[in-house]
Amino acid sequence: MPHRRVGCKYRCHFNPLRFKSETARPCGNYSKIETGMKKNISRSGLELVRSKLGSKSIVMIGLMGAGKTTVGRRLAQRLELPFVDADHEIERAAGMSVSDIFAQHGESYFRDGERKVIARLLSNGPQVLATGGGAFMDAETRANIADTGLSLWLKCSHKLLMKRVRKRGGRPLLDANNPDAVMQELMDKRYPVYGLADLSIISRDVSHSTIVNDAIRALHAHFDPDLEQQNQ
């Protein structure tokens, strides 16, 4: 297969088994990568990612249960960057939990506060910033992330999302008679928008370190497109 560079003109997906790219439709100013890669990035590779980030933040996006906080925290450790959870910052600013904000003030009130908090946090890069599932749906927040961050979507199956969220409570949007149907509705609505992210990797039922490695390699390939040719 001829070498294709990963640039802003094309969306490229990495085959988890063969580590080969496939050119997809043009996608504006975004560079897209889906990975299932297992090799570790060298110390110099990690330094390259940190250097290329500059003052930008790596912004984790995805549905509840995708692993944004867990993977994001470990990714930050590997890159030796601060980790920030936007929902925790919202709770600290409001003096109450996300669930209580939803219950007492409604989703619209929460989204307004979320937008303001994320805008403030993005000015503190470089860092790894985990966001709530609905944050990237807001056009203003997406624009702020595009200007001052690099968005990384943890794409996850319905089955795995439900397996994870059932282990934990505090999910206001799933407080319904049929949470499975609600989750599917959220996926149908949000996944097309999540698809605008700069990078995407598959969140699978494997070790967290494996997903972190996928994320690091996606970041490295984004900043160094020649990495693809080296691994063919």
How is the chain split into domains, by residue range? Answer: 10-230
- In this prediction the pTM is 0.79
Please say whether the beta carbons of 196 and 142 come within 8 A.
yes
Higher pLDDT, 225 or 127: 127
Q: For residue 21, what pLDDT is reported?
A: 30
CATH superfamily for 10-230 is: P-loop containing nucleotide triphosphate hydrolases (3.40.50.300)
* Residue 1, Cβ density class (10 Å: 0-12 exposed, 13-18 middle, ≥19 buried): exposed
Question: pLDDT value at position 19?
Answer: 31
Q: Are 72 and 219 in contact (CB under 8 A)?
A: no
Rounded average pLDDT over 189-218: 95
SS (H, E, C) the chain: CCCCCCCCCEEEEECCCCCCEEEEEECCCCCECCCCCCCCCCHHHHHHHHHHHCCCEEEEECCCCCCHHHHHHHHHHHHCCCEEEHHHHHHHHHCCCHHHHHHHHCHHHHHHHHHHHHHHHHHHCCCEEECCCCHHHCHHHHHHHHHHEEEEEEECCHHHHHHHHCCCCCCHHHCCCCHHHHHHHHHHHHHHHHCCCCEEEECCCCCHHHHHHHHHHHHHHHHCCHHHHHCC
Terminal-residue alpha carbon distance, the chain: 9
The average confidence (pLDDT) of the chain is 81
Which tens digits make up the pLDDT trace of 34-83? 444 445 677 888 999 999 999 999 999 999 999 999 999 999 999 999 99
Handedness of CA 19, 22, 24, 28 (dihedral sign): positive
- Does residue 131 surpass a pLDDT of 60? yes
pLDDT in tens, 71-104: 999 999 999 999 999 999 999 999 999 889 988 9
